[in-house]
Amino acid sequence: MRDLLTWLLFFFVLIALLGIVVYQLMCLADLEFDYINPYDSASRINRVIMPEFISQGVLCFLYLITGHWFMSLLSGPYLYYNVRLYTRRQHLIDVTEIFNLLNWEKKQRLIKLGYLIFLLFVSLFWMIWCVLEEDEHAL
């Protein structure tokens, strides 16, 4: 039962992360199609960048302490990438360079999106397996 709950928690955190990344992608797409100006776009994206990093870190940590080290390993690269961006101070969007770097930023986020979806499916699968196993045991 506890297992199920933890998996649910992971699931929600992953959904939240997914939401944040999709939000960033939408802001960038809006910028590209001129629905929004670069100042607002940059400030919106920058507002959610740190929450994204922090929640991803928390997720990884949670995986670790609840013993699902495989999942933790899976989200390792993502964490490493975020940390690297942070140390190089490249994690925030720069208003002056945003148009030049637009394609790179979009690509970065698309990859993150793909990664998160993959993680999501794995955890979903694992969660269902857990539930089934529990059922089996209960039976």
Partner 1 sequence: MKTMGTENSNGPNFPQRPAAPPFAAASQSATPFLSSGPVVGSEASAFRAMPPGATQTAGPFVSSGPVLGSEAFGVRPMQSGRSNDPSMPPPSSYVPPQVGSFQHFPMPQFSSTASVPPPRTSPPGQPFSSPPFRPPGSHISSPPASFNPQPRTPSVPMGFPPKSINHMPPGMNVPPTSTDSPFSTSGPTLQPLQSAFPGHSIRPSNAVSQPPPVQSSPFVAHPGGYAPPPSQPATSASFLAQRGGYVTPPSVAAPPAAAYSKEQLQHQGSRPVMGGVQGLTEDFNSLSLASVPGSLESVLDSKALARPLEGDVEPKAFSDMYPMNCNSRYLRLTTSAIPNSQSLVSRWHLPLGVVVCPLAEAPDGEEVPVINFVSTGIIRCRRCRTYVNPYVTFTDGGRKWRCNICALLNDVPGDYFAPLDANGRRVDLIERPELTKGSVEFVAPTEYMVRPPMPPLYFFLIDVSISAVRSGMLEVVAETIKSCLDRLPGYPRTQIGFITFDSTLHFYNIKSSLAQPQMMVVSDLDDIFVPLPDDLLVNLSESRSVVDAFLDSLPSMFQDNVNVESAFGPAFKAAFMVMSQLGGKLLIFQNTLPSLGIGRLRLRGDDIHVYGTDKEHALRISEDPFYKQMAADCTKYQIAVNVYAFSDKYTDIASLGTLAKYTGGQVYYYPSFQSSTQKDKLRHELARDLMRETAWEAVMRIRCGKGVKFTSYHGNFMLRSTDLLALPAVDCDKAYAMEMSLEETLLTNQIVYFQVALLYTASCGERRIRVHTAAAPVVADLGEMYRQADTGAIVSLLCRLAIERTLSYKLEETRNSVLQRIVKALREYRNLYACSIAWQGG
Site residues (CB under 8 A) for partner 1?
32-40, 89, 94-96, 98-100, 102
Q: Least distance (Å) from partner 1 to the CB of residue 79?
A: 25
Give Cα separations from 138 to 14, 43, 123, 134 (angstroms). Answer: 28, 51, 22, 6
Nearest to partner 1 of 2, 104 (CB atom): 104
Nearest to partner 1 of 33, 104 (CB atom): 33
Q: Least distance (Å) from partner 1 to the CB of residue 11?
A: 31
In Å, the largest CA–CA distance within the chain is 62
Q: Least distance (Å) from partner 1 to the CB of residue 94?
A: 7
Angle in degrees, CA 15, 28, 49, rounded to 5: 50
Nearest to partner 1 of 3, 32 (CB atom): 32
